[in-house]
Every structure is written in C-alpha cells, then in structure tokens.
Copies of this chain bind each other. A is one copy, B any other.
Amino acid sequence: MAGINKVILIGNLGKDPEVRHLEGGASVAHFTLATNDHYKDKQGNRVERTEWHNITAWRGLAEMAEKYLKKGHQVYIEGKLRTRQYQDKDNQTRYITEIVADEITMLGGRPSGSDGPAAPEQAVAVAPVTFRQEPELDQLPF
C-alpha cells in the first residue's frame, strides 16, 4: 500500500550549495539547512535549539540552487526523507538521512549585517524528482 513521506522545512542555508554535474547531464546539489526553534526551560529561560538537515536537490532544482542559493539564505523546502548507507573510511556501514527536495522557494530573509543584496525574490517549483535519477545518488560521496 502506498504511503506518504513528506517533509516541510523553513530554515537557513549553512553553506553555499555544492553542485556536481554528472555524466549524462543530471546535476545534484547538496547543502545543509538549519531550522531554529526555541522554548522556555523549567526556570523560564529562553533556550535556542538548532536542528541541521542534509538537503539533496536534483536536476532543475540543483541548477536553481547553484544559481540562486547562498549561505544564510532563508528557504522553504518540501521533500522526502531518504536514508542511505555508505561505507566510512574504516569500511564500517554508516547511515545518513537526507531530505530529497521536490520544491524550493526562496523567502525574503537574509543574514543581518549582510552587505550583499537581498535574496532574489524568486521561486522555483518542479514536479517531484523522478525516482529514475535516484540510483545515481548511491554513487555519490557526500
């Protein structure tokens, strides 16, 4: 029976996207995204908490990421959870959980104190990355 696997994030890029152009024409981008939350602890103090997410974007979304997304930009991302295995340097099996993006929308935010221009007010939405490209994902070092 088919299921649903959906992630919705609003956060800030921790670094510029790293984009690889694969043989065959497909592109893939990786970056990290911070989502910030806060709560009051038992003493009533405000406590900040940041969660870091590994984002992967394919094809048109990878090219959009390469062109428009920079460290610090605020984005909305919709995608799917995907956990991959890989072998670490000691040949141990390790797991990494990523969000494979289906849609990325740029929001207005930018780092305070930034001298640069605001994030271009643009948005990209594509049809879900088809699973045909996914086997290529397994060949990638992260």
Report if A2-B105 is in contact (Cβ < 8 Å); known contacts: A7-B7, A47-B131. yes
Report A83 CB to chain B, min CB distance, Å.
7
Interchain CB contact under 8 A, A83 and B3: no
Is chain A's interface secondary structure helix, strand, loop, or mixed overall? strand
**Contact size class for A?**
35 or more
**How many copies of this protein are present in the complex?**
4
What are 7 sample pairs from A and B whose C-beta atoms fall under 8 A apart? A1-B112, A5-B51, A7-B7, A7-B81, A10-B105, A74-B108, A95-B96
Interface residues of A (CB under 8 A from B): 1-12, 34-39, 41-42, 47, 49, 51-53, 74, 76, 78, 80-83, 92, 94-97, 105-110, 112, 121-123, 125, 127-128, 130-132
